[in-house]
Amino acid sequence: MEYMILIYADEKLYSGMSEQQLGELMTSYGAYTQELIAAGVMRSGSELAPVHTATTVRVRDGKIACTDGPFAETKEQLGGYYLIDCANLDEAIKWAARCPGAKDGSMEVRPQVKTV
């Protein structure tokens, strides 16, 4: 079954990091990604652009309304994701716990619903 690991973190944490700290973090994400690939569970993944680049879209009474930024003010922002294929939720949780972002942020694990 495919699971999406959604990576949430406070973007402000990263803006306070030195180049060396950011480099080490990116190296740890690279290693984690390689572990997912080597285990054969990796399907896709991506870092997202900062939250200030987001546009929230709503349709109310048939009219489209766009707002710059995320819908809700939150302490943590969605920063990226991994789509993995695991035998069950327990395995997906184990992979999510190994993600470098789990140390400072939170990982949301959701099963994919096949609609097509």
* Segment 52-89, tens digit of pLDDT: 888 888 899 999 988 887 666 667 888 999 999 999 99
* Segment 30-47, tens digit of pLDDT: 999 999 999 999 999 999
CATH number, domain with residue 65: 3.30.70.1060
Q: What is the 3-state secondary structure (H, E, C) of 50-91?
A: CHHHCEEEEEECCEEEEEECCCCCCCCEEEEEEEEECCCHHH
Host domain of residue 65: 2-111
With vertex at residue 99, the alpha carbon angle to CA 95 and CA 101, rounded to the nearest 5 degrees, is: 145
Tracing tokens 């995320």 back to the chain, one arrives at 70
Helix (H) or strand (E) holding 29: helix 19-39
The reported pLDDT for the residue numbered 10 is 87
Identify whether 71 is part of a domain.
Answer: yes
Identify whether 53 is part of a domain.
Answer: yes
Question: How many structural domains does the chain have?
Answer: 1
- Tell me the residue type at 53: T
Q: What pairs with residue 63 in β-bridges?
A: 60
Identify whether 116 is part of a domain.
Answer: no
CB 92 within 8 A of CB 3: yes
* Segment 2-14, tens digit of pLDDT: 999 999 988 888 8
CB 92 within 8 A of CB 109: yes
